[in-house]
């Protein structure tokens, strides 16, 4: 990972689920970035605090700062890597906001012209992907659409290894 403070961090949790170290591509003192089980666009990743906290207001000031600094660093690396011209950064804070995993996380999506017919459709896609990922983790039957499929651990590890090279 990217810093000495994160080098001895052994277990990554995303709400109630463990995230394999192979799926994490960069970490900071308080946060980590990992690949998405069901990305909405190529390069759609998540940044989350190491401490499992359901709501944004529960983060310490140090965690808030570190979360956004890591999100900025990740977005700055992903945008050119995926040939994007913009980024969507989004937090769904609470169940009524569409949060399906009770752990604060920032969605980072490299964006290109025309990737959605109506630009705001990206938020519906994030919501649907979050629900599908929750179902995949809990063993529920998934309602998969044709364009996006839940990825294997091997596929996610391969993407994380590729992204890890951007942070050396």
107 is in an annotated binding site: yes
Q: Give the list of residues 6+ apart from residue 12 with CB closer than 8 angstroms, or none.
A: 18, 19, 20, 21, 24, 32, 34, 50
Number of other CB atoms surrounding residue 75 within 10 Å? 22
Contact 104, 53 (CB under 8 A): yes
Active-site annotation, residues? 105
Establish whether 165 is an annotated binding residue. Answer: no
99 is in an annotated binding site: yes
From residue 20, alpha-carbon distances to 13, 14, 155 in Å are 9, 10, 12
Residues contributing to the annotated binding site for substrate? 36, 92, 98-101, 107
């Amino acid at each position: 990972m990217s810093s000495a403070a994160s080098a001895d961090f052994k277990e990554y949790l995303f709400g109630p689920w463990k995230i394999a170290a192979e799926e994490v591509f960069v970490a900071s003192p308080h946060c980590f970035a990992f690949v998405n089980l069901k990305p909405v666009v190529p390069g759609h990743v998540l940044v989350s605090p190491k401490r499992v906290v359901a709501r944004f207001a529960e983060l310490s000031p140090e965690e808030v700062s570190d979360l956004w600094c890591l999100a900025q660093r990740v977005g700055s690396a992903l945008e050119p890597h995926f040939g994007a011209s913009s980024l969507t950064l989004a937090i769904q804070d609470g169940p009524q906001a569409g949060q399906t995993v009770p752990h604060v996380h920032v969605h980072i999506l490299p964006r290109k012209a025309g990737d959605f017919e109506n630009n705001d459709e990206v938020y519906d896609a994030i919501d649907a992907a979050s629900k599908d990922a929750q179902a995949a983790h809990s063993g529920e039957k998934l309602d998969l659409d044709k364009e996006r499929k839940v990825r294997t651990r091997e596929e996610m590890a391969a993407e994380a290894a590729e992204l890890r090279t951007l942070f050396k």
